[in-house]
Structure 1
Amino acid sequence: MPTRRPAAARVLAAALLALSALGNAPARADEAQATAALRAAFAQLPDAAFHRNDAEQAWFVDMQPIAQASGEARTEAVRRMVLGSSLPPLDALRMVGPDAWAAAGAPPLSDIRHVAGFGQPPIPVTVWTMRDAAAAAAVLDGLEDGDFEPVPGRAGMLSNGAPMEVNLTRRQPASPWRGLLGRSYFVAANGAAIIQAPGPEPVAALLDLGEPARLTSNVLVTAALDGLDTAAAGAEIRQAMLVSPTIGTGGLDPAAMLGAGGDMDTLRAKLEAAQAKAARGVPPFFSGLVADVQTGPHPGMAVSLVYADCATAEQAAARLAEAWTEAFATITPGTAKVATAPSGTLCAAAVTITAQDASGNSNPLFLRVYDGHVSRQANIFQIASTAN
């Protein structure tokens, strides 16, 4: 009998096959796109991010809501950006707060438009988008006045140490340029963008990034963005993550099962319930985006999952809304809305969930869903087990 590949590998292989067959497609030209800032940020990232076999492939955080808030509202806004934990500079901000972050050499919050990145934490590549090119240049000037020096043979690139270097004697937990472990970084400006990476090669690659190699040139990512425009219509996208099918193929969490202790009846009941839930999961998808959104005073979540046709996308949207209702509706009440979004020859399942209560600058609804995915306790993105 031939060896069967793991579910994640099979689903990812299908996605890559579809990509090679469909080629590249430009993003829709629509000035009112909810994803305008997200598209601009992802255009700074390489298509290689999509081909990583990670559940979370790329991240985006809008920094303006933090800059525009003050006092306790700003503290809430910082806590809200949970996806920032995957990007070292923003992880430092979440750890110490805006004042200590600024004192440790971070750029002024008012100058930062958004931050995006990709790669394996704790050392992914981060791209800051500043107010303009002058603001980006000012950041590099400030770094060079500190402990950053020009990199020989790399015009315009600075570093504060050797590639991948960790030096605990230089640790600065509040600093976006050092962090808890005293890491060294390489930086360069590209117009209004600042590229930050643990070595010179990723920085050089993004400086020379051509259109076919951009993340936004990928037809599956474009379809996911088009679907998110539908799901997030009329809302502000505060943070978002590009996800692969791997997010839905985690399977059962052994720790959660063993948490039932020695009571076999309880253990059996938990296992059967988990299996039944998995059987009702979403159909396998090619790519997706999960976003924390704000509609007026109400926070919420917008999801886009890419499929080959709208019939399957419609089924997926209904199942995703059902999974959220079952897992979280009594904890963080809200209203779910489902739709489909054609994109070229593809189609996205578009799901919008808006919290019932206004929550200031926090979003407990998105946080619950994200924690459910990370902990594998309540993953609403689980792919139906019948497809495994």
Structure 2
Amino acid sequence: MRFRHLTVTATIVSGFLAIGGTAAFADNTATLRKALSHLPETALATADPMPIAFLDVKAMSSAEEGALSEAALRRMSFGSFLRPLEALQYGMGKDWTEKAGVPFEDISYFVGNGMPPVRLAYWGLADEKAADTLLEALTSRGFRQLQDTPRMLANGDPRAINFEARDETNPWLGTMGQTSFAMPHAETVMQATAPQDFEPVLEMKRSVADNPAIATLLEGIAKAPASRDSTLVQALVVTPLFGMSSVDPADFLQSDMTDLEATKKKLEEKMVEGSKGIPPYFAGMMVDAQQATGPALVISLAYADCASADSAVTTIQARWNKATDLNGIADISGQSVPAADKACAAVISFAAKGETNEPLRHAFSGAMTRKFNVLQIGAPE
């Protein structure tokens, strides 16, 4: 089944490539787009329904009066996806500079993708010089240069675990003393557990940021009235598999899914057979946003047309209000946003009614336990 999930996601992604094109966005997506530009598009073709996580360190610092404040550390939701953040949350920021090799405030963002053990973390820094400075700092922190790849450092053997070296507060070792390989890529330093994990990046033909589905949902966030003035603090990219628990991907393996309309039609036929649900989306994003009134969860989904996006907005709002644990915790607004080549984004904002982002907390904790069905494709009403 794992192979089947991977295959159907890859074909859905390849189908959406046919609509092509990207667009200019407002500034609130700039750091996120920059981070996603370092990830190969193949990161989306995975069995993982939540393959990419992002944290804007500067935005978190602004929103919570310091990126290492107690409020900021509590707000960081995606530490399990980003190896450096696991260490940060264990140590609450103490001794970070000494062990990481760079002050936390000098980091612009973190972004990561992949399923363990093949999981990459990108340390986004100010520029290439800053990336080189971090690499140099690692040479005095247990790292050695690889003879056949001078620009790559390692503190152990590929995929190795050394419990004697474990340090849960060290982002390069962690709770199991797992090896880290480090390599510069533009203004980032990439972190992996084996050198071959860097190959998709080095062989990248198109980035995640340039994927038309991702471009569509980002354009939605940048232009929708409910989100365009927000600061994007954290984000989690989801694939169609996130909403497909009631649909067996094996049902589509015999079909030609190389174009968007064919894929959409096949999914809709399965929905009609037994249930109602939001139209199939081709990529999605759950965003922790800071708005003028406080924190909010912003959801953006990429569609082939605005009729589908309008339907998704209406259905998602209704589902949220129907859920007893979600009703009343947010002020909800949503709209569709036209994008390039007739594509469209469905953008819904769930503005928290308190000082903490309860909508995001409920959505993320529910997603981790497979109980968040607001984005379910074809789920019963």
TM-score (norm 2): 0.84
Q: 1:40 to 1:73 in 2, by over 3 A?
A: closer
Unaligned 5+ runs, structure 2: 248-273
Give, as a single letter, the amino acid of the residue that structure 2 aligns with 1:234: D
C-alpha offsets along residues 343-383 of structure 1, whole Å, 9 cap, x if unaligned? 323212111121223x1xx4222111111111123321111
Unaligned 5+ runs, structure 1: 253-277
- Cα pair 2:96 2:104 within 8 Å, conserved: no
Structure 2 counterpart of 1:352, from 341, 349, 352: 349
Report the CA distance between 1:209 and its aligned residue: 4.9
3-state DSSP class of the match of 2:161?
Answer: coil
3-state DSSP class of the match of 2:94?
Answer: helix
Report what 1:201 is aligned to: 196
Report what 2:85 is aligned to: 90
Pairwise mapping of residues 361-380 of structure 1 onto structure 2 (< 5 A)? 362-380=356-374
- Cα pair 2:28 2:231 within 8 Å, conserved: yes
1:165 matches 2:153: no
Give, as a single letter, the amino acid of the residue that structure 1 aligns with 2:43: A
Report what 1:300 is aligned to: 296
Report the CA distance between 1:337 and its aligned residue: 2.6
Give, as a single letter, the amino acid of the residue that structure 1 aligns with 2:168: P
Report what 1:21 is aligned to: 18
C-alpha distance in structure 1 between counterparts of 2:275 and 2:73, whole Å: 37
Give, as a single letter, the amino acid of the residue that structure 2 aligns with 1:318: T
C-alpha distance in structure 2 between counterparts of 1:188 and 1:336, whole Å: 42
Report what 1:272 is aligned to: none
Report what 1:230 is aligned to: 223
Pairwise mapping of residues 309-388 of structure 1 onto structure 2 (< 5 A)? 309-327=305-323, 328-330=325-327, 332-357=329-354, 359=355, 362-385=356-379
3-state DSSP class of the match of 1:98?
Answer: coil
Report what 2:210 is aligned to: 217
Give, as a single letter, the amino acid of the residue that structure 2 aligns with 1:99: K
3-state DSSP class of the match of 1:213?
Answer: coil
RMSD: 2.8
C-alpha offsets along residues 164-191 of structure 1, whole Å, 9 cap, x if unaligned? 1111111010011000010111111223
Pairwise mapping of residues 1-388 of structure 1 onto structure 2 (< 5 A)? 12=9, 15-16=12-13, 18-22=15-19, 24-25=20-21, 27-30=22-25, 32-68=26-62, 69=64, 74-121=69-116, 123-206=118-201, 208-210=202-204, 212-231=205-224, 232-251=227-246, 279-327=275-323, 328-330=325-327, 332-357=329-354, 359=355, 362-385=356-379
Report the CA distance between 1:203 and its aligned residue: 2.8
C-alpha distance in structure 1 between counterparts of 2:318 and 2:380, whole Å: 18
C-alpha distance in structure 2 between counterparts of 1:221 and 1:349, whole Å: 12
Q: 1:385 to 1:236 in 2, by over 3 A?
A: same
Report the CA distance between 1:142 and its aligned residue: 1.1
C-alpha distance in structure 1 between counterparts of 2:100 and 2:54, whole Å: 22
- Cα pair 2:10 2:46 within 8 Å, conserved: no
Give, as a single letter, the amino acid of the residue that structure 2 aligns with 1:219: P
Report the CA distance between 1:336 and its aligned residue: 2.6
Report the CA distance between 1:204 and its aligned residue: 4.8
C-alpha distance in structure 2 between counterparts of 1:311 and 1:134, whole Å: 47
3-state DSSP class of the match of 1:104?
Answer: helix
C-alpha offsets along residues 107-152 of structure 1, whole Å, 9 cap, x if unaligned? 2121100010110046510111112223222211111012100012
Q: 1:325 to 1:343 in 2, by over 3 A?
A: farther
C-alpha distance in structure 2 between counterparts of 1:297 and 1:115, whole Å: 26
C-alpha distance in structure 1 between counterparts of 2:319 and 2:101, whole Å: 40
Structure 1 runs of 4+ aligned residues shifted over 4 Å read 5-11, 66-73
Percent identity between matched residues is 28
Paired positions, count? 351
Report the CA distance between 1:89 and its aligned residue: 0.8
Report what 2:270 is aligned to: none
Q: 1:123 to 1:100 in 2, by over 3 A?
A: farther
- Cα pair 1:249 1:383 within 8 Å, conserved: yes
Report the CA distance between 1:21 and its aligned residue: 3.3
- Cα pair 1:61 1:84 within 8 Å, conserved: no
Report the CA distance between 1:386 and its aligned residue: 7.3
- Cα pair 1:282 1:319 within 8 Å, conserved: yes
3-state DSSP class of the match of 1:150?
Answer: strand
Query: Which range moves more in the overlay, 218-227 or 161-170?
Result: 218-227
Give, as a single letter, the amino acid of the residue that structure 2 aligns with 1:95: Y
Query: Which range moves more in the overlay, 74-83 or 103-112?
Result: 103-112
C-alpha distance in structure 1 between counterparts of 2:113 and 2:305, whole Å: 28
Give, as a single letter, the amino acid of the residue that structure 1 aligns with 2:212: V
Give, as a single letter, the amino acid of the residue that structure 1 aligns with 2:314: A
C-alpha offsets along residues 76-112 of structure 1, whole Å, 9 cap, x if unaligned? 1122121132111111112221124334335212110
C-alpha offsets along residues 184-233 of structure 1, whole Å, 9 cap, x if unaligned? 11111223211111111233542x355x3211222222122222223421
